[in-house]
Amino acid sequence: MDYAGLVDEALGRLRAEGRYRVFAEIERVPGTAHAMLRDPDGTTRSAVVWCSNDYLGMTAHPAVTAAMAEAVAYGAGSGGTRNISGTTSMHVALERELAAWHRKEAALLFTSGWIANLTALTVLGSALPDCVVFSDAANHNSMIEGIRRSGATVRVFRHNDAAHLESLLRAEESQRPRVVAFESIYSMDGDIAPVADLADVARRHDALTYVDEVHAVGMYGPEGAGIVAREGLESEVDIVQGTLGKAVGAMGGYITGSARLVDLVRSYGAGFIFTTSLSPVVVAAARASVAHLRDDDAERVALQARVASVRAALEAIGVPTLPTESHLIPVILGDPVRCREAARLLLDEHGVYVQPIDYPTVARGTERFRITTSPLHTDADEEALVRGLADVWERLELPRAGELPVRTRS
């Protein structure tokens, strides 16, 4: 069997479709939105990063780096799984901080948000006998995988459609355990879910609610606790899942909820039980970041001001963006090959780094950039972005606002 040939054919199909992914090797400049990019030949060049998930610039915040430096005394790693020597006082303290942040009884740390979703939804769907999971059509891959692996019955409701969710719940005649799973902010379109409506429908039909807030924690609501908190729905949502790797600026994921539900996931979740726990250095950094974000709105205020400015500037030059209420700015190109060429020109000629996003992350024909701003971006950075996009849009004859029929969902 020619395995090498089969592998080459599979990779060749990606290249032919313009979907083969090339990673940018970057060295970020602390305290700025700039980075040095290293090319394959070893040369470096400066660029402004407009696609980072470090939404608030917390990765290099002085309080965060100071906490990391102090925690280095405990070593680089935790030494084991949480059950076998990997539970430190820092892990426990961070879980208590996260539970308090979301007004929940308990929290549980994971090595990533992806693993948190996968593990928690697998446990809920399998440990609750004959469970039915109602999943938003646009849910993240990690949620879909967790639900699928659970073996639960799955009902998919139309994206952000509370009426369709209700019709599916009504049609489920038997008194089976039910979980309604959705996100508060969907990262590729930047849209915000009608959390209150969905939670209300779930509650009236005696279903548990599971809300992924990875693109909202740190960013919205009192103390930056997310959309659920902004809407005053902490008591209406059973499990809030979040990440430490985006606005918090560290890494890892978590769930928060009742002590009973969290204990269920802790006791049954293979993705938690068999994984080495987060490094104490990372845990200390995350706790310092969360504490700062609970106490100070400065980063959130600066971010929203920059988001509004960039949106207005892109609208003025006719670059097509999806209308959203969130901090995410999807810029639609609609073609994978031209999307990658546009990204190359922006980097090579304007020092602007954005990452092409294509299928399967988004539907075919809706290839895009997802521009993310931060409090670290300056007026000069913004001017370079707008100038670069205007140039590339003209040179590649890309569609202007109103010219591209956008179908954002598969």
Mean pLDDT of 363-373: 91
**104: annotated active-site residue:** no
The number of angstroms, rounded, from the C-alpha of 376 to the middle of its chain's C-alpha atoms is: 19
Q: Is the pLDDT of residue 178 over 50?
A: yes
DSSP track, 123-156 = HHHHHSTT-EEEEETT--HHHHHHHHHHT-EEEE
Q: Is the pLDDT of residue 112 over 70?
A: yes
**Per-residue model confidence (pLDDT) at position 22:** 82
Q: Is the pLDDT of residue 410 over 50?
A: no
Mean pLDDT of 57-83: 95
Q: Enumerate the CATH 3.90.1150.10 domain ranges in the chain, comma separated.
A: 18-49+297-395
pLDDT in tens, 234-250: 999 999 999 999 999 99
DSSP track, 304-336 = HHHHHHHHHHHHHTT--B---SSSEEEEE---H
Residues whose CB falls within 8 Å of the CB of residue 74, separated by 6 or more in sequence, listed in order: 88, 90, 280, 281
High-pLDDT (> 70) share of the chain, % = 98
Q: In terms of CATH architecture, what is 62-295?
A: 3-Layer(aba) Sandwich (3.40)
Tokens of 34: 């700039």
**Per-residue model confidence (pLDDT) at position 20:** 86
- The DSSP symbol for 74 reads G
Mean pLDDT of 33-60: 93
High-pLDDT (> 90) share of the chain, % = 84
Mean pLDDT of 157-172: 96
Q: Which CATH class is domain 18-49+297-395?
A: alpha beta
Measure CA of the first residue to CA of the last residue in the chain; give whole Å: 36
Q: Enumerate the CATH 3.40.640.10 domain ranges in the chain, comma separated.
A: 62-295
The one-letter amino acid at 15: R
pLDDT in tens, 374-387: 999 999 999 999 99
pTM as predicted: 0.93
User: What residues form DSSP beta bridges with 182?
Assistant: 211
**Per-residue model confidence (pLDDT) at position 405:** 54
Mean pLDDT of 331-339: 89
CB-count exposure of residue 25 (10 Å: 0-12, 13-18, 19+): exposed
Which entry of 178, 246, 300, 368 is annotated as an active-site residue? 246
